[in-house]
Amino acid sequence: MSNIISAPRPSLLELEEKAKWLTLLLLAVGLHIFEAALPSLGPWFKPGLANIMTLLALVLIGPRAALMLAIWRVIVGSFLIGTLFTPTFVISLAGGIASAAVMLLAWRTIPGITLIGISLIGALAHMSVQFITVESLFIHQHALYYLLPPLLLLSVITGWINGGLAAYIISRIEESD
């Protein structure tokens, strides 16, 4: 009991960051579920709206928070739609982690890049890693890659749009602060 009382209270800044992260996580999970309910544009293709929240976490909180958000979004979202530990979950998780990692790297290293470029690179990484995961873990068949170029093209479009949306949301948040 005395330990609890004497434990240092988290700072207001820490609490604020946790609240922001949880809010973004809930929004990301909501978008993850929404995307799962959308009619499929093709195998493994989703518009990647949930990735907007990863971009927001990257800018508003930091790289570590963005990576954790990408991981927890897939875990919680898959649990809620009933695909936890299925191939769909493994493919989503691999894509989510790769996408977040590549976006962090691009954000840190590429000069002059904006959220649009970061999102575009993330979308391409997400799609490519999904295919690599399917090919290496589930269907060991090179022919799978026939489908990759058209889906990468769609990823370029959605990545660009999602980046623009993320930039817009950030600016509105900053205006309101």
Contact predicate 128/77, CB 8 Å:
no
**Binder of another protein out of 16, 147, 176, 177 (CB under 8 A):** 147
Nearer to another protein, 69 or 127 (CB): 127
104 binds another protein (CB under 8 A): no
Closest contact distance (angstroms) between CB of 6 and another protein is: 39
Burial of 92 (0-12, 13-18, 19+ CB in 10 A): buried
Q: Three-state SS for 158?
A: helix
Residues 73, 40: Cα–Cα separation, whole Å: 20
Closest contact distance (angstroms) between CB of 63 and another protein is: 12
**Binder of another protein out of 109, 175, 176, 177 (CB under 8 A):** 175
37 binds another protein (CB under 8 A): no
171 binds another protein (CB under 8 A): yes
41 binds another protein (CB under 8 A): no
Q: For residue 94, count other CB atoms closer than 10 A to its CB.
A: 19
For 42, the enclosing helix (H) or strand (E) is: none
Residues 57, 44: Cα–Cα separation, whole Å: 24
Q: Which two tokens stand for residue 104?
A: 């962090």
Which residues in this chain contact another protein in the complex, by CB under 8 A? 40, 42-43, 59, 83, 86-88, 91, 110-117, 120-121, 124, 134, 138-150, 152-153, 156, 160-161, 163-168, 170-171, 174-175
